Chains A and B, each alone.
Chain A
Amino acid sequence: MAFLEIDGLYKSFGQTDVLKGIDLVVEEGDFLVLVGPSGCGKSTLLNTIAGLESVTKGEIRIAGERVNELKPSERDIAMVFQSYALYPNMSVAKNLAFGLEMRGVPKDERDRAIQEVAEMLQIEKLLNRRPGQLSGGQRQRVAMGRALVRKPQVFLFDEPLSNLDAKLRVDMRMEIKRLHATLGTTIVYVTHDQIEAMTLASTIAILKDGVLQQFGSPEDVYNNPSNLFVADFMGSPAMNLVPAEVQKQDGAIGVALKQRSNGALFLPVREGVADQLGDWVGRTITFGIRPEAVTDPDAADQKEGQLVEATCRAEMVEPTGADTYVVTHLGGKEFTARLRANSPIEEDGHVKLAFNMTRSVFFDPQDGTRIA
């Protein structure tokens, strides 16, 4: 059964519409990540779920019950804030206990719950300290502990890792994932970091300007973006998105990418796609392919799909250790390919690339909608 349902949600601040008709359905135990650039409305959406912001239009249901009119404390949710929001005047133990105390849980039961959560998060030694005496990572743990201790139906996380340094962020990311696996509680998590979204989510919702762009599993969102924005936003390094002309050569439909020197590179598309691109022959579309789908022929996945080999000029080579990124110039833009480390690059700077056309996507350059 759908556990958290958001139905045609609108939120306006005065004249500005921040959320424009959001529909979401989250199953119990799901890990939903709301992701998008800053100002896209993801935090506002989270705040409306929490009850900290009122709703202009639409309905939010938790476990089948309409919660629009309920106060945050009545929705059986717990929230972890970006700034942690630990009460500065209370010890860690008191911080953990505050929510339980407000709900009238007796003292011995509170103590037991605190002990349990402190053990789970390994913060037993910090219980008597004040938030001011803790490091960033410790504060983060306490903030999570404060949410965990109440055993709510839904956890809400508002960019919880954005104040941590890079290494700690990766550690805490794993920790959150592990907690979710152990507890199985439904989580709604806001972030602007698409890697965080990919690693944590069981479902991703991508927002832009208050409109839901795509809602699906991380694999789906990554491999099957519904529009140009999603394709560009998800993945690092970003997907190559270049203008290309749809052409018919020797009976095969394909895309022609302008090269810097010798004309255009013709890449025939796979069968299913060819039908959909039929109408576009002679017109320009936006061709998209992820860097890892453009690689050296030996590393290419021979089993999967349709490989097209071509020689391109490597304008820049970026070895990262594990992989080597080769930047070439196609369709008038920089075009990144991901090769194995130590891939052979010829003396004159030319490199042989295999394009995995099975993993290519095509967009309407005008409105960014997906064609195929």
Chain B
Amino acid sequence: MSTATEGPQLGSGSVFGRAILYAVLIVFAVYYLLPLVIMLLNSVKPLDEIRSGNLIAPPQHWTLQPWLSAWSEAQVGVQATGLKPYFVNSFLMVIPAVTISMVLGAINGYVLTKYRFKGDSIVFGLILFSCFIPFQIVLIPMAKVLGTLGIAGTVPGLVLVHVVYGLGFTTLFFRNYYAAFPTELIRSAQVDGAGFFRIFWRILLPSSGPIIVVTIIWQFTNIWNDFLFGASFSDFDSQPMTVALNNLVSSSTGVKEYNVHFAGAVLAALPTLVVYIVSGRYFVRGLMAGAVKG
């Protein structure tokens, strides 16, 4: 039988092919993981081991002191507070910024797809345009706006900046997602007697899981990792994690505690990693769902 004779040949060929495939994949995985591994290894080494040995060697004496130091003792800026207060600042900034930009983006998407009005595509085009404006261009106008509003150098000020900047993306996500959402459902709810917000809350939002996850990951990662706005619009007591990390690393006083810097950097990256691991599998699914139609 033809299948019987062809089968093994194909099989041996595919074993060889697979071996190469896996080898390539492993090489790339190692290549990408290496920086993280080195950071983790060096964050649990005493400082003199880093100074004397090479970076890749595993630690001879394991210690968690650099982590504790980075968290609550290290000199950041003027005071020796560690990264802890800035970590809190980042959360105080990220959570409202993500929530508000997401809710506004969802309402925008809802209106742009289900309550069409004259010129709605122009409005959408303009909102979309904001996705392509480079950060640097808005710095000075934004500083002026924050100053006028009296929230310059505060966490609410940073929240406002990130909401404004994120709105283009969240609107884009939700508009494309809702474009595929059947309009008859909205009409049915209208006949049933539900109003604008009731339909949004009861019909649309419960079906928006995937796109909410996409938006959270996107916005959280962007806002958490932002450095430029944080550096430009914050004071010492409202600095986010990224700016504090920079201050820690580029601090000019005393010895450079590389192990503490490594620990701090991992700490700074941790929340985005957690968000991605927890909801990552929805990410691709949600992006696809939005991409099919719209």
Chain A residues in contact with chain B, CB under 8 A? 50-52, 71-73, 77-79, 81-83, 85, 87-89, 98-99, 102-103, 146, 150
Contacts and interface: CB of A to CB of B under 8 A. Distances in A.
A82 B190 contact: no
Contacts of B188: 79, 81, 85, 87, 146
B203 A79 contact: no
B189 A87 contact: yes
A97 to B, nearest CB: 10
16 contacts: A50-B187, A50-B191, A51-B191, A52-B191, A71-B190, A72-B191, A78-B191, A79-B191, A85-B182, A87-B188, A87-B203, A89-B203, A89-B207, A98-B194, A99-B191, A102-B198
B62 to A, nearest CB: 50
B192 interface: yes
B182 A73 contact: no
A82 B194 CA distance: 20
Interface residues of B, number: 16
B191 A87 contact: no
A52 B182 CA distance: 15
Chain B contact residues: over half helix, strand or loop, or mixed?
helix
A283 B194 CA distance: 61
Interface in B170-192: 182, 184-185, 187-192
Interface in B5-31: none
B185 A102 contact: no
A94 B77 CA distance: 57
B53 interface: no
Contacts of B198: 102
Contacts of A51: 191
Contacts of A99: 191-193
Chain A contact residues: over half helix, strand or loop, or mixed?
loop
A103 B202 CA distance: 15
A64 B189 CA distance: 26
A110 to B, nearest CB: 13
B150 interface: no
B206 interface: yes
Nearest to B209: A89
A83 B191 CA distance: 15
A98 B191 CA distance: 11
A81 B184 contact: yes
Given A78-B191, A85-B184, A85-B188, 15 more contacts: A51-B191, A52-B191, A72-B187, A72-B191, A73-B193, A79-B191, A87-B203, A98-B194, A99-B192, A102-B193, A102-B194, A102-B198, A103-B193, A146-B188, A146-B192
